[in-house]
Amino acid sequence: MVANRGRDTKPERALRSELHRRGLRFRVDIRPLRGLNCRADLVFPSERVAVFVDGCFWHGCTVHAERPRRNSGYWNAKIDANIARDRRNDAVLTQASWCVIRVWEHEPLHQSAELVEEAVRVRRSRPEFR
């Protein structure tokens, strides 16, 4: 029914190759912050940009918000917990001066790539991230 959450989903791979094509280099599937149990899909360590490609199902996309009717209590609790964890991680990372970019897997590739490229460019223009 639902593919398990994991690295290397199709939208992730597409975003990675698009960013590569644009000349950007980054780390894949690592923890941006030591001590925080949170892996980002793409990490730009010197610019401190962490990119998450959020799956619509697991992260509770409101455009594709359809949740399973069977075992709805279980799924609602699970997805709500994922969303809460995402927000906590965002807060901790932002506090540590990371720029957190979240794109939905349903977003057009060009748009997501643009967002990431722009964030990296902005960071590079600031002396503290050079």
**Using CB under 5 A as the criterion, which residues of the chain lie in contact with Zn ion when the complex forms?**
56, 61, 63-64, 104, 106
CB of 87 to Zn ion, least distance (A): 17
CB of 63 to Zn ion, least distance (A): 4
Contact (Cβ atoms closer than 8 angstroms) between residue 125 and residue 75:
no
b/e per residue 101-112 (b: at least 16 CB within 10 A): bbbbbebeeeeb
CB of 82 to Zn ion, least distance (A): 14
Taking the least distance from each CB to Zn ion, the nearer of 16 and 102 is 102
Taking the least distance from each CB to Zn ion, the nearer of 58 and 129 is 58
What would the DSSP string read from start to end of 20-79? HHTT---EEEE-SSTT----EEEEETTTTEEEEEE-TTTTT-STT----STTHHHHHHHH
Reading the block at residue 10, the tokens are: 């199709």
Taking the least distance from each CB to Zn ion, the nearer of 48 and 59 is 59
Taking the least distance from each CB to Zn ion, the nearer of 66 and 128 is 66
CB of 30 to Zn ion, least distance (A): 25
Contact (Cβ atoms closer than 8 angstroms) between residue 103 and residue 15:
yes
